Structure 1
Amino acid sequence: MTDDQQRLGVSNDLKPHAYDPETNPELFDGVPARRVIAFLIDLIILAIPLVVLALFFFAVGIVTLGFGFVLFGLMPAIAVVWALFYYGATLGGPRSATLGMRTMDIEMRTWYGSPAYFVLGAVHAIVFWVTVSVLTPLILLVCFFNARGRLLHDFLVGTVVINNPARAGALRPTR
């Protein structure tokens, strides 16, 4: 490390992975299946306010004799903003997990062990939807070919999904 790097607190040293599946297998036990269920729960949570808003837009369309139906054109943009806010706020929150992930006792961390933050949560969601849209859902099979169960979008944004400490503690073998 150069003197300038030390003075600025900058390092180009690579950090090791914080979570080792060989020494802590309980962190990764059952995570892929739990992620699928958590995703479905989150999809329902995301859909409920959008359905209510669509019903409101429909009522406005009826009351305004059809003029309010133009509001339906805003639904795609509203859905994207709502999803980005939801994923950013929940993954960037103190538990680093969406409501579905909390239900399934899993959380997201950076590959070097730090909790997630708002922008990382939003970018994680964007990269997930783009990769699934472009490369088909078959990219989800990536989790079966690495010990940490990471998906393609996890590799791209530098995250890992693990069991939360309570669940990992319950799965930890007694020594």
Structure 2
Amino acid sequence: MERPQTRLDEPALYDGVLSRRVFAFIFDWTVVAVLSLVAGVLVFFLGILTLGLAWLLYGAIFPLVGLVYTAFTLGGSSQATPGMQIFGLKIERLDGKPLDPLWGALHSVLFWTGNIFLTPFILLIALFTNRKQTGHDLLLGTVVVRNLR
């Protein structure tokens, strides 16, 4: 028995998604790096006030900034990071529900975990899936599509 066709089965939603995802990632990574630099300056001055205790946060700045950035942009009303918005993408859950910040954070954690332990080659899965889904998309039941509105 075949599953019924849905809006997410429309091939136009996936035209150019992979290259757009790469450019969106580069943009978002750059934004997170700049925000992390700003946070690093704040931690520096906070470290002076706390006699160096806050400086223990330096190693966690980039991951924390990236996690918060992704959680509240993917899990926000636009369902896309700023980079994804610029390149005309958004993320959707296969069950039709909107992503919340927890799902956005989980998406980010699974992306980085997969890349750290399985190398970036894990992303090649997207070349072989009909909806251009990566491993973390498949695990979470999400798909990145063109925002054709």
Q: Are the structure 2 counterparts of residues 17 and 133 from structure 1 closer, same or farther at C-alpha, using a change threshold of 3 Å?
A: farther
Residues 17 and 113 in structure 1, CA contact (< 8 A), matched pair in contact too: no
| CA–CA distance in structure 1, aligned partners of residues 5 and 103 of structure 2 | 20
| CA–CA distance in structure 1, aligned partners of residues 4 and 61 of structure 2 | 38
Structure 1 position 120 matched with structure 2 position 109:
no
Over the residues paired in the alignment, what is the CA RMSD in angstroms? Answer: 2.3
Task: State the SS of the aligned residue for 2:25.
Answer: helix
Q: Are the structure 2 counterparts of residues 16 and 74 from structure 1 closer, same or farther at C-alpha, using a change threshold of 3 Å?
A: farther
When the two structures are superposed, what TM-score results if normalisation uses the length of structure 2? 0.85
Corresponding residue number in structure 1 for 2:8: 19
Equivalences for residues 29-44 of structure 1 within 5 A? 29-44=15-30
Tell me the alpha carbon deviations over residues 46-67 of structure 1, each in whole angstroms, 9 at most, x when there is no partner.
1112112324455677x78xx5
Corresponding residue number in structure 2 for 1:129: 112
Corresponding residue number in structure 1 for 2:62: 79
Q: Which runs of 5+ in 1 are unaligned?
A: 1-13, 167-175
Specify the code of the residue in structure 1 equivalent to 2:91.
Answer: M
Equivalences for residues 90-169 of structure 1 within 5 A? 90-166=73-149
Q: How many residues align?
A: 146
Report deviation, 1:114: 2.8
Specify the code of the residue in structure 1 equivalent to 2:8.
Answer: Y
Q: Are the structure 2 counterparts of residues 15 and 112 from structure 1 closer, same or farther at C-alpha, using a change threshold of 3 Å?
A: farther
Tell me the alpha carbon deviations over residues 108-151 of structure 1, each in whole angstroms, 9 at most, x when there is no partner.
00023332211110100000000000000001110110110000
Q: Are the structure 2 counterparts of residues 141 and 95 from structure 1 closer, same or farther at C-alpha, using a change threshold of 3 Å?
A: same
Q: Are the structure 2 counterparts of residues 154 and 28 from structure 1 closer, same or farther at C-alpha, using a change threshold of 3 Å?
A: same
Corresponding residue number in structure 2 for 1:11: none
Task: State the SS of the aligned residue for 2:91.
Answer: strand
Task: State the SS of the aligned residue for 2:145.
Answer: strand
- Report the structure number with the largest CA radius of gyration: 1
| CA–CA distance in structure 2, aligned partners of residues 54 and 95 of structure 1 | 28
| CA–CA distance in structure 1, aligned partners of residues 4 and 11 of structure 2 | 20
Report deviation, 1:98: 0.4
Equivalences for residues 30-69 of structure 1 within 5 A? 30-58=16-44, 68=52
Report deviation, 1:31: 0.3
